[in-house]
């Protein structure tokens, strides 16, 4: 697998409130991306601890093939709460953050979204998108992990791993316009196509360059994961 990530602090933030994780663990690939709420003083702590909580749970759960949505989200939430409480200096209500993650198993792929941002996933047969395009009357409300976290705010998808091709996930600082499913999937597919034809070092340099100039004053984070086995086999 070829993967990488880049995060850029927004111009109106003192601290980058975005966090991410991308790692191979126990034969699984995990990707997580979190955006601390700008209105919360310690949301950058909350976002970092969400990524760490995902990693903790991946090490602890023995059988991901059978875990339910409720079980998994509750494990992550309780682990996150525990981490914040153990620090003994950050009020939970000031640590709210969004969280989007993917767990790629041998037989299936787990995809979850709480809050804004998007995840695009491509397999040999299909494409999938989890996003909050905010086209409804509640567009000013951002769902997040918080003191009053609810499973009802989780968008969750389990799909068969029908030959995973790649994924792109971004926080909302990288806003795609027009903000609709077709445009986001097109953006993601084209970016992954570019990833195929470039070395990781060149790709990382170019990613940093265009994210820096992306027209947004918010924190901007992008993570990509690409199955490049076919290209290697062809060589």
pLDDT per residue over 123-166, tens digit each?
998 999 999 866 554 455 789 999 999 999 999 999 999 899 99
Quick: pLDDT tens for 95-124.
999 999 999 999 999 999 999 999 999 999
Task: Give me the CATH number covering residue 76.
Answer: 3.60.40.10
CB atoms within 10 A of CB 24: 11
Cis peptide before 44 (omega within 30 of 0): no
**Cα dist. 59→3, 53, 76, 190 in Å?**
21, 10, 12, 33
Q: What is the pTM of this model?
A: 0.92
CA dist., res. 150 & res. 197, Å (int): 42
Tokens describing residue 68: 């339910």
pLDDT at residue 6 in the model: 93
CA dist., res. 217 & res. 201, Å (int): 26
pLDDT at residue 233 in the model: 40
CA dist., res. 183 & res. 72, Å (int): 31
**Which domain, by its residues, includes 228?**
2-234
To the nearest whole percent, how much of the chain has pLDDT over 70? Answer: 94
Cα 160 to chain center, whole Å? 19
Report whether pLDDT(194) > 50: yes
User: How many CA within 13 A on the CB side of residue 121?
Assistant: 26
CA dist., res. 4 & res. 195, Å (int): 10
Count of the separate structural domains present in the chain: 1
Report whether pLDDT(235) > 60: no
Tokens describing residue 133: 């395009």
Report whether pLDDT(75) > 50: yes
pLDDT at residue 36 in the model: 96
The sheet with strand 127-131 has its strands ordered as: 2-8, 220-226, 164-170, 118-123, 127-131
Confidence of residue 177 (pLDDT cuts 50, 70, 90): confident
């Amino acid at each position: 697998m070829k993967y990488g990530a880049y995060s850029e602090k927004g111009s109106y933030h003192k601290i980058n409130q975005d966090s991410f994780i991308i790692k191979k663990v126990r034969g699984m690939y995990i990707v997580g991306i979190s955006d601390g709420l700008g209105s919360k003083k310690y949301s950058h702590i909350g976002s970092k601890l969400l990524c760490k909580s995902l990693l903790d749970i991946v090490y602890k759960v023995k059988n991901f093939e059978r875990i339910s949505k409720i079980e998994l989200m509750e494990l992550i939430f309780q682990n996150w709460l525990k981490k914040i409480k153990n620090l003994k200096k950050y009020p939970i209500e000031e640590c709210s953050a969004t969280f989007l993650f993917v767990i790629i198993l041998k037989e299936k792929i787990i995809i979850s979204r709480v809050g804004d941002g998007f995840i695009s996933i491509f397999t040999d047969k299909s494409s999938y998108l989890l996003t909050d395009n905010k086209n409804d009357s509640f567009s000013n409300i951002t769902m997040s992990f918080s003191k009053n976290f609810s499973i009802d705010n989780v968008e969750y998808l389990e799909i068969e791993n029908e030959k995973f091709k790649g994924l792109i996930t971004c926080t909302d600082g990288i806003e795609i316009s027009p903000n609709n499913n077709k445009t986001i999937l097109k953006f993601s597919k084209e970016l992954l196509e570019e990833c195929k034809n470039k070395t990781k070092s060149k790709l990382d340099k170019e990613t940093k360059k265009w994210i820096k100039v992306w027209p947004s004053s918010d924190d901007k984070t992008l993570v990509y994961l690409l199955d490049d086995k076919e290209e290697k086999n062809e060589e």
